[in-house]
Amino acid sequence: MDTSEKLKLLADDSRYDLSCACGTSDPDDHRKRAGDGLWLYPASLPNGGKSIMLKTLLSNVCVNDCLYCPLRTDRDVRRCTLSPDEVASAYIEYARGKNVFGLFLSSGVIGSPDYTMDRINAVAAILRRKYRYKGYIHLKVIPGASDAAIENAVSLASAVSINVETPKRSSFEKLSKNKNFDRDIVRPLKLISSLTAPGEKFSRVRQTTQFIVGASDETDADIVKATAGLYGNLRLDRVYFSAYQRGLGAPELPGEQAQAPQGENLLTREHRLYQVDFLLRAYKWSAGDISFAADGSLPLDADPKQVWADRHPEFFPVRLKSANMEELLRVPGIGPVSARRIIEARRNSHVRDLRDAGLKGERLRKAGAYVVFG
């Protein structure tokens, strides 16, 4: 294969990793396939703006045995590898010609974690030093990479990520026999957090991660607790959730053997986790605010905020005349923007109608059942 053919294959194989974008109801936050078959992804920038990224693997060769992964070592798939120069020159040409402003680069593990990280970092170094590229680069940190390799990646990137995959060691061990949860996942997460802490040299660099939902035996409660910890303790910028794609993994996986949830139910589970994630990030809820069934699962038939409201009737109705931001955000249908508009409107006049806060349709109907104006 020539470089173009390799890039098409590797860009397509990169679609299994969502830890750069996607996962919300906003259509602008989802990937799009370009006319030549490559995938383009939106990415949030440190300054709050957005960039469009070309996403690819450096190689789909992999020595790891991750049982959920369609590219694991025992799979009979078409394999290829790009050199660092090929990736860098192809990206620069693509960016100059097609108005792409960022690169997300990941890879299978070629031989060893540090050998692979050396090649990933080399791509970023070529772009930064040879081509004087100052745009957005998201580098995937390979599990098991050394501290030096990780620090080098952080020094070159706009964002980095290492996929946590599952929220606890026992679930992780069902996915891989040759990776160690504490050594290969938790240690790098903590190191990146320390390197990018406020006041540190690389504080501008974002850190994200991804859970594979439904491949192992973790519960939603396990994932939510871990997600809250990643935000609260390690200051991650985003956590992504990818519903396990049945049929791509090994038969012995718990996710392959489970009878439910399947199909649309598993996608709904992913959606509920994104709703909880928004409550944790934007509403500043705690993991203890989220309600679960006895088996640790999120209800599939109602969003988590509505479930909280239904289980706490003593909290309502909320008085729009005096409620603070936290109280307003407990009202179904009222989000951060609407809450700020209500508070702003109160400074100038009495709030007489939820429409003044921009609510309409289903959100207006929903919120009206939980508030009073007097």
Nearest CA to 357 out of 341, 369, 372, 373 is that of: 341
129 and 271 both lie in a single domain? yes
- Domain-located, residue 307: no
Q: What is the CATH number of the domain that holds 57?
A: 3.20.20.70
- Domain-located, residue 76: yes
The pLDDT score that the predictor gives to residue 152 is 98
- Domain-located, residue 144: yes
What confidence tens digit (pLDDT) does each residue in 333-361 have?
Answer: 999 999 998 998 888 777 777 887 788 89
193 and 324 both lie in a single domain? no
249 and 326 both lie in a single domain? no
The pLDDT score that the predictor gives to residue 36 is 60
The pLDDT score that the predictor gives to residue 233 is 97
Decide which of 252, 267, 302 is a domain's last residue.
302
- Domain-located, residue 147: yes
135 and 163 both lie in a single domain? yes
| Domain carrying residue 240 | 3-302
CB burial readout 281-292, b (16+ within 10 A) else e: eebebebebbee
Decide which of 245, 278, 302 is a domain's last residue.
302
Q: What is the CATH number of the domain that holds 324?
A: 1.10.150
290 and 332 both lie in a single domain? no
The pLDDT score that the predictor gives to residue 358 is 81
pLDDT tens for each residue of the chain, 374 residues long: 898 889 888 888 887 665 444 444 444 455 566 666 665 666 555 455 666 778 889 999 999 999 989 889 998 889 999 999 999 999 998 888 866 788 999 999 999 999 999 999 999 999 999 999 999 999 999 999 999 999 999 999 999 999 999 999 999 999 999 999 999 999 999 999 999 999 999 999 999 999 999 999 999 999 999 999 999 999 999 999 988 877 778 887 887 776 544 556 888 999 999 999 999 999 999 999 999 999 999 999 999 999 999 999 999 999 988 899 999 999 999 999 999 989 988 887 777 778 877 888 998 999 999 999 87
What confidence tens digit (pLDDT) does each residue in 22-43 have?
Answer: 444 444 455 566 666 665 666 5
16 and 127 both lie in a single domain? yes
88 and 58 both lie in a single domain? yes
The CA angle 115-120-124, to the nearest 5 degrees, is 140
**Cβ neighbours of 206 (radius 10 Å):** 21
228 and 323 both lie in a single domain? no
The pLDDT score that the predictor gives to residue 231 is 97
317 and 298 both lie in a single domain? no
- Domain-located, residue 153: yes
Helix axes 147-156, 187-195, angle to 10 degrees: 40
- Domain-located, residue 94: yes
As for how many domains the chain has, the answer is 2
- Domain-located, residue 109: yes
268 and 326 both lie in a single domain? no
- Domain-located, residue 158: yes
The pLDDT score that the predictor gives to residue 303 is 93
170 and 124 both lie in a single domain? yes
172 and 286 both lie in a single domain? yes
Decide which of 302, 327, 362 is a domain's last residue.
302
